[in-house]
Structure 1
Amino acid sequence: MRVISRQADAGIEIFDENLEPLRILPAPPEVEGWAVSSTRDGLVYATGGAVVRIGPHGDELWRFDLGPNAGNARTDVTFSADDALVWVYAPNVYAGRAAQDEWIVLDAATGAVRSRRALPSSGHGGAQFPLRDGRMLLDVGEGRDGSQIYLAAAASEIHDFGWGDRVLIDVSPGQTRFLTVHHEQEDVAVHDFPGGGVRFRLTPADFGFDEDSGVVVEWSGGFLDDRTVVVVLTAEDEETEQEWWRHFRVDAGTGEVLGDLGIVTIHGYDLRPLGDGTYVITDTDGTLRRM
């Protein structure tokens, strides 16, 4: 099951499988991205200028300097699946640090550089997805210019899927498929992994919405389990001008729309699938619920 954590006033709050609070590890308010180890007792976070590793007792184990962030960009950090490495997406171009973004791999125990490679992107931020075989998937959001998806091992060449218009949303628990949404929110697709071939593609019309309804696919959702994905549809109500969103279950193999989940969330990005058939949402009082 995926580790659940969230930012709190005192740092990063970490929960167990029953959503009981385990601990809070210290992190400053200006954190841009963070990740918790699979053992739930280690933290790595990024600020505008550094990546910091925090140990189980809240002590700083090491710090890796990135240089100042003079622009509108957010660094992403995550652990490898075995917690041995820390992967860093550094949006150097928009941060004003360098002419190219970087994908950096650090030793999780020491902070030593294992690899440091330039990326052909100019991203505002990124999202990384650890794979059990040690590789990492990376989605780089380039704002109005689109979104890039990359795959690499710590020391291998970087594979560029080359689309430029797909946003990576999630990877299936069995790591045989992945989910993307069109950058302009026109459709959602499930792809074979690692080849990237499209297994199926759905538009809002496939969920029963007219083309002129203004409904689009949200950049959220994910795999409930290997057989089912959650797809989020959203639009603005014409009368109230209030945004609404609905969560649909879709067969991950065939693309059959299985129905509306029938739940209410505080926003269109709140639902977090855990990959075991359950998901986490947040009550209006801030309490996490696993369903």
Structure 2
Amino acid sequence: MTFAARLVTTLAAPLDLAAADAPAPQIGPEARLVVQRGDAEVVAYDLDECAAGGEAAKVRFPAPWPRRFGTVTVSPRLDLAVFAGVHALRAVDTAGVVRWEVRHGCWDGSCRELHTSFDAYPESHGHLYADSGSAAVAADGKLVWAHIRGPLASDADPDPGALDEWLVLDAADGKVLARVDAQTAAAGSDHVPHPDPGQMGLSVGEGQDGVPLLWGRWDGRTLTVDRLGGDDWVLLAVSPSGDRFLTVTHYQETLAVHRAADGSVLAGADAATAVPRHPEMPADSDEEEPYWDYYAGFLDEDTVIAATAGSDEEFGAERHWLLDAARMGVTGQIDYPFPISGWPTALGDGTWLTRSEAGDALHLWTR
């Protein structure tokens, strides 16, 4: 079965791609934003304002360092950008005022310095290709969750050999409310917010070594962390209700829905049996079976949208699929009226985004 996609609107990139990354959705329980990172600034706006036919106000945050030196997240209220850099977390408001900064160990694995400034390393090859952490602002805007390389510069006796830590901070002043040893050695990481501000998912990439999935709970006094899936689950999304989450296995064979309370698997879909080979694949091809992309989500509480773009692109058009979230059976393929690129980003209300072929715009779709 095929499902026709209807275009709702197209969102042009606010910054020129010559000096900026492609615009990216930042989808959370309380706000759905589009964020574009340039070398000198970050631009963000409310997706829902555009979807309603309005002209969304663009909010701009001056960037403390060029885009290749770390990641960035924007608060649901569009009042704060948190830059997770090579040597520090820095929170900046729209006026460019630094609200707070937390310095930490260097993400360059061969460096043991606690840098005081970005100016210490921009020409260093190791720092240019350093690993990275990430941060996310909780649904209520009051907490920042951050995955950093230890130690903290504020430690009384910093351990130069410390590895990754997971922090909960006060978004207003950067005070560290809780910290735990993440017991990871990240090349990169991504936070996946939960509707409950006291919960957060963290997916850590360690290259061939695995993909630890951490689930954190903060009760206002104590941070507890569960490590789920034997380092084989990549966390992709949380359902709109917060009751379930979605993963794909490290080598992209199986997409699964889990109970958020304990991480147990409720249903799964193996790409090799759930999805047919690409129709334009030669009959004598010795290519591997289809595999899921590292990006998928809940189109709504009962429907998952996923893609096999990575395994499709060599043969022709990239394919997107709808699955029944209760049993993880494929219900059909999405039919687009013109070519799209990459994977879909689910918004939780029956709509989703894709990127234009040129990467300079986002298309908003509905069935």
TM-score (normalizing by structure 2)? 0.71
Conserved in 1, the CA contact under 8 Å of 2:342 and 2:354? no
Which position in structure 2 is the counterpart of 1:22? Answer: 58
Deviation at 1:77, TM superposition (A): 0.7
Matches within 5 A, 1:1-291: 1-16=31-46, 17-19=48-50, 20-27=56-63, 28-30=65-67, 31-71=69-109, 72-92=130-150, 98-133=161-196, 134-154=198-218, 155-204=222-271, 205-209=273-277, 213-236=288-311, 241=314, 245-263=318-336, 264-268=339-343, 271-283=344-356, 284=358, 286-291=360-365
Q: Write the distance in 2 (CA, Å) between the matches of 1:91 and 1:221.
A: 28
TM-aligned CA distance change 1:97 to 1:166, over 3 Å: farther
Deviation at 1:13, TM superposition (A): 1.3
TM-aligned CA distance change 1:125 to 1:243, over 3 Å: farther
Conserved in 2, the CA contact under 8 Å of 1:278 and 1:290? yes
TM-aligned CA distance change 1:280 to 1:9, over 3 Å: farther
Q: Write the distance in 1 (CA, Å) between the matches of 2:146 and 2:186.
A: 13
Deviation at 1:169, TM superposition (A): 0.7
Which position in structure 1 is the counterpart of 2:15? Answer: none
Conserved in 1, the CA contact under 8 Å of 2:36 and 2:42? yes
TM-aligned CA distance change 1:290 to 1:234, over 3 Å: closer
Identity, in percent, stands at 30
Amino acid at match of 2:134: D
Deviation at 1:193, TM superposition (A): 1.3
SS at match of 1:216: coil
Conserved in 2, the CA contact under 8 Å of 1:171 and 1:223? yes
Q: Write the distance in 2 (CA, Å) between the matches of 1:243 and 1:60.
A: 47
RMSD between aligned alpha carbons? 2.5
Conserved in 2, the CA contact under 8 Å of 1:214 and 1:235? no
Q: Write the distance in 2 (CA, Å) between the matches of 1:250 and 1:106.
A: 37
TM-aligned CA distance change 1:190 to 1:285, over 3 Å: closer
Give the total of aligned pairs: 285
Q: Could you give the per-residue CA deviations for residues 168-192 of structure 1, whole angstroms, max 9, x where no partner exists? A: 1111111111111110111111111
Q: Which has the higher contact order (CA 8 A, sep 6+)?
A: 2
Work out which of the two has the higher radius of gyration on C-alpha atoms and give 1 or 2: 2
Unaligned ranges ≥5, structure 1: none
Q: Write the distance in 2 (CA, Å) between the matches of 1:223 and 1:3.
A: 17
Q: Write the distance in 2 (CA, Å) between the matches of 1:127 and 1:54.
A: 20
Q: Write the distance in 2 (CA, Å) between the matches of 1:191 and 1:279.
A: 21
Deviation at 1:252, TM superposition (A): 1.0
